[in-house]
Amino acid sequence: MKCRAGAIFTILLLWSSPALAWDPSREDGGDAPPEVEREPDPAPFIAPPPGTYYVTDTYVADVVTSTGALTTYSTTTVHESTGSYARVLDTVGTGASSAFDGSAFNGRRTLGDGRSVAGTYYENYVLGADGFVPVSIVFFQDDAELARLLSGTPVPGVNTAPSIPATTSATPRPSARACCATERPVVTIASPTRAPIQPRISLIPLGGPLATIEKIRGRAVSLYPRAFVGDREVRVRSWTVIAGDAGEAVLTTGSGAVPFRTSWRHLAPPGAVFDVVFRIEVDTPETGHRTIDAAIGVVVRSPALER
Amino acid sequence: MVLTLVLAPLLLITLAGVLQLGALRVAAARVRAAADLAALVAVNDQDDVELARSGTLRLSADAVEVAREYFARELDLSSTLLGSAADEIAAAADIAAYPAAPAHDARTGARYDRPTVRIAARVPVKTPVFGALAFRPVTTIDVLSVSSPR
């Protein structure tokens, strides 16, 4: 038995031959192409911080104008390129705080009721040998308020009349002057020219804007927060209910394609309405990334018997 | 014995009359509730097109039909008390809708400051005991229901 097994093993050993398979991991280097000698870049590419753009409009000054009861907070700019760059740090709504409060060289104003104005913080850069160097932060105010609102004492969620809170009017967006650069006499930063954005709320996707609606108690309603530049509608990226009584809402935040669906099962006090305030976010090449607030008053009515 | 024979029918007649009056009151309450519910349902139907256009509350265009339909449905639940079919009673009812306010009701002279639905109906109710006692076997109940959102 042992002899037979040894014979079989010997026969198999004699019949063996090397396999001619291709070895993908073999590194003989024989067929490697000659390495091309690369020339150094004449101007090495320096990646800018995300969101940075070339400034074409320069900050001039903060402007506060009053027309009747309307006070507008805006920023003036001059169309000028100084070779500097900028990027958006934060866009804040009326009364909202920001991590950059106090860091802007031009400060941030307050409305008549003490709330901070809405606007956008920009950081200014100059391109040096070591890359983009931040030189300053500027705040572009963009807000408005109605004087009549200051006389009332708003009750959270319930106001005695439909009113428009201090809303971000869309003043043409500016640029900023860097205050601290020493290499240049004036370092200016600007954002792209941005058109005014008008927030609107409607009950159907293509419906007209409404400031107040009357609803039957318990009946569902869909509200569409929308944004317009002039007469043209721009895409709403998202919306969020930031104040007011949202009722039995399905969602309090959503994308622009989704309406705000809710119903109210309770009534406001006699003579009062529910004010619902939306924060609408738009982010298009034309408008840039911005947020605007829109409010709608809701009068909830309940069918009752008249005796 | 004689006194019992004389007074027993009177007592039975009086008892039957009292029971019939109670049944009539129950029927009247149910008919009134039917009208109230129908008016409430009709007012609860808001005109969505007008709401989307102007944001204001107006009654739906079919508020009268809705009120009539639900009036018939509600009456049908008390069909054993009625002197005629619920559908006939509802069809004969004077139902008016005032989609926009203010409005004046020509029938009642009332002024409505909000969208209103008004139901005025004459509902025949069976009163068999009264009929047996030489009264009318069917008593008509006038019902008026007005509803508006407030």
What's the pLDDT tens digit per position in B31-85?
999 999 999 999 988 888 888 888 888 888 899 999 999 999 999 998 999 999 9
What's the pLDDT tens digit per position in A243-292?
899 899 988 999 988 999 999 988 888 888 899 999 999 988 878 888 89
Rounded to whole angstroms, the Cα distance separating A155 from A275 reads 10
Rounded to whole angstroms, the Cα distance separating A187 from A108 reads 20
Domains of chain A and any CATH numbers: 53-146 (no CATH), 198-301 (2.60.40.10)
Mean pLDDT lowest among A32-36, A100-104, A161-165, A247-251 = A161-165
A306/chain B closest Cα distance in angstroms: 5
Give the contacts of A14 (CB within 8 A, at least 6 positions apart).
none
Rounded to whole angstroms, the Cα distance separating A230 from B129 reads 77
CB B147 within 8 A of CB B42: yes
Identify the helix (H) or strand (E) that includes residue B28.
helix B2-43
B150 at A interface, C-beta within 8 A: yes
Give the contacts of A13 (CB within 8 A, at least 6 positions apart).
none
Pairing of strands A288-301, A212-216: parallel
Instruction: Select the residue from A206, A214, A221 to test the B interface by mutation, using most B Cβ atoms within 10 A.
Output: A214
In this predicted structure, what is the pLDDT of residue A156?
A: 43
What's the pLDDT tens digit per position in A226-257?
999 888 889 999 999 998 998 999 889 999 88
pLDDT at B145 exceeding the cut of 90: yes
Write the ipTM: 0.72
CA nearest A222 in B: which residue?
B52
Rounded to whole angstroms, the Cα distance separating A128 from A126 reads 6
B116 at A interface, C-beta within 8 A: yes
Cβ separation of A306 and B148 shorter than 8 Å? yes
Cβ separation of A302 and B36 shorter than 8 Å? no
- The answer to whether the predicted template modeling score (pTM) of the entire model surpasses 0.90 is no
